[in-house]
Amino acid sequence: MTARRLIVALILLLSSALGGCSTAMQGTPLPDGFSLKKVADSVPGSPFAANRDGTLASVTKGGLEITDVDGSSRNIASESASLLCFSPGGSRLAAAMPIDNGTLLRLFDLEGKLLGETAIKERVTSMAWRSTEEVLAASLGINKFTFGSQLISRLYRWDGLTPPLATTLSDVTVRPPVGKMPQETIYGSLSIAVSPYGDEIAFSALRDPPLFTPYLRISTRHMETGTEHEVAKTSVGSGGIIYTPDGESLVVSDAHAMTRKLALPDGKETDAWPTPGSNSALSPSGEYAFLDGRLYHSGKVIATFPPQTRGTFIPDGSGLALSLDGKLYLVKGLQDRPAPPLPAGLDRLLKLRRLRSLGLISEQEYRAQKKKETAK
């Protein structure tokens, strides 16, 4: 650990001890102005999602359920789900449902009407909306041989109407000991995040170089050009990847170290938190972060919850939804804002980002031109 990162860790740990922390689920108070309310039950460890108005989607013993802000709930499917996410506009819910030897992707409206479905032959490990009209799903296929295991990662683009389009993200063979790792660890090695601009994804992929320790490679991929750039390496078993609201950095977890904020495209570390980031989320404006049960505001811990608590921020910035031991909670009182709107000159900015991905302009040229475009 560098001296800078050690100093960051000590400062944040001290702020956690002195900054008025609370363990709300254990009965101690939250900071002034905050409130915590149980809103629904769910299957322990199952996925959940928060809509822009605080509506929640979750998995219960009866299947897939939506809970409105007034506490009323309705069942929209009898099947369980492994992944859930609301569309950017909030009118649709995407669900990944395990089936024999694959995954069924489904789209619902908020009343439970089935709008579309498609089958994927592999296990879908990560899912996100690229736009109001397109869902991205990452799948991992495993083929076992005596000499090792072949891991094939694919990205599916689906509009909810036509068959999804598939692109291979990674095709690697790992040694037998690596292939014998727990299945959840192997499947957890593939996750994706979508840039706020929708033109790029970040994804993780397992690597197993001879004579070296296996690791996860974090890369970006431009959706139009297909060009990729390695951003970082992190430990096997680490959590997911998050784009910052400005689309110019990634928050990357590390199971054996700290959670880091890395500038794109070179991966330079610009911030760090003293926690692995197994359960992590960023608020719409980026001012709040939820990492392994700790709620940060502007770099300071303002509340703590059990470290296994999972969280996701309400897209309008009004609150934080939490999941712990089969119960869903809503934390209110955050002074956050919605995600910043896309700039007026979006087409010109997307062109600049495309040129940068191809290496036709330097990072310095990109930032100078971006500053001019966003100032118009």
34-55 pLDDT, tens digit per residue, is: 999 999 999 999 999 999 889 9
- φ, ψ of residue 54 to 5 degrees: the values are 100, -5
Neighbour count for residue 197 (Cβ, 10 Å): 16
User: Using CA atoms, how far apart are residues 223 and 200, in angstroms rounded to an integer?
Assistant: 5
Number of alpha carbons in the 13 Å side-chain half-sphere of residue 236: 17
Query: Which residue ranges make up each domain of the chain?
Result: 3-342, 343-376
pLDDT of residue 5: 52
Instruction: Name the least confident of 13-17, 132-136, 147-151.
Output: 13-17
pLDDT of residue 69: 87
User: Using CA atoms, how far apart are residues 322 and 29, in angstroms rounded to an integer?
Assistant: 16
User: Using CA atoms, how far apart are residues 65 and 42, in angstroms rounded to an integer?
Assistant: 9
User: Using CA atoms, how far apart are residues 129 and 290, in angstroms rounded to an integer?
Assistant: 21
* Rounded mean pLDDT, 101-122: 96
Tens-digit pLDDT profile for residues 150-170: 999 999 999 999 999 999 999
Mean of per-residue pLDDT scores for the chain: 91
Residue whose token pair is 């993780």: 204
Classify residue 27 as left (phi > 0), alpha (psi -120 to 50) or beta: left
Is the confidence at residue 112, as pLDDT, over 60?
A: yes
Q: Which two tokens stand for residue 57?
A: 């989607």
* 20 — pLDDT class (breaks 50, 70, 90): very low
* Rounded mean pLDDT, 7-28: 44
* 345 — pLDDT class (breaks 50, 70, 90): confident
- Strands of the sheet containing 83-86, edge to edge, are 83-86, 92-99, 102-109, 114-120
Q: Among 178, 181, 206, which Cα is nearest to 191's?
A: 206
User: Using CA atoms, how far apart are residues 210 and 371, in angstroms rounded to an integer?
Assistant: 44
Q: Which two tokens stand for residue 176?
A: 């037998």
pLDDT of residue 344: 82
* Rounded mean pLDDT, 213-220: 97
Q: Are 83 and 96 contacting, i.e. CB atoms less than 8 angstroms apart? A: yes
- Residue percentage of the chain with pLDDT more than 70: 92
Class of the CATH domain delimited by 3-342: mainly beta
Q: Which amino acid is at 222?
A: H
Q: Are 81 and 97 contacting, i.e. CB atoms less than 8 angstroms apart? A: yes
* Rounded mean pLDDT, 70-81: 93
* Rounded mean pLDDT, 361-369: 93
pLDDT of residue 341: 85
pLDDT of residue 110: 93
Sign of the Cα torsion 27, 33, 37, 43 reads: negative
Q: Among 284, 313, 283, 279, which Cα is nearest to 294's?
A: 279
pLDDT of residue 14: 42
Q: Which two tokens stand for residue 73?
A: 């709930």
pLDDT of residue 333: 93
Number of alpha carbons in the 13 Å side-chain half-sphere of residue 49: 24
User: Using CA atoms, how far apart are residues 56 and 110, in angstroms rounded to an integer?
Assistant: 10
In the chain, how long is the greatest CA-to-CA distance?
Answer: 60
- φ, ψ of residue 7 to 5 degrees: the values are -65, -45
* Rounded mean pLDDT, 276-283: 95
- Residue percentage of the chain with pLDDT more than 90: 83
Instruction: Name the least confident of 210-224, 238-252, 340-354.
Output: 340-354
Degrees to nearest 5, angle at CA 218 with 121 and 128: 50
Tens-digit pLDDT profile for residues 133-143: 999 999 999 99
pLDDT of residue 65: 96
User: Using CA atoms, how far apart are residues 196 and 284, in angstroms rounded to an integer?
Assistant: 11
More confident site: 130 or 345: 130
Instruction: Name the least confident of 1-5, 102-106, 191-195, 367-371.
Output: 1-5
* 371 — pLDDT class (breaks 50, 70, 90): confident
- φ, ψ of residue 196 to 5 degrees: the values are -55, -25
pLDDT of residue 7: 47
* 373 — pLDDT class (breaks 50, 70, 90): confident
Q: What is the DSSP string of 32-66?
A: TT-EEEEEEE--TT--EEE-TTS-EEEEETTEEEE
pLDDT of residue 236: 96
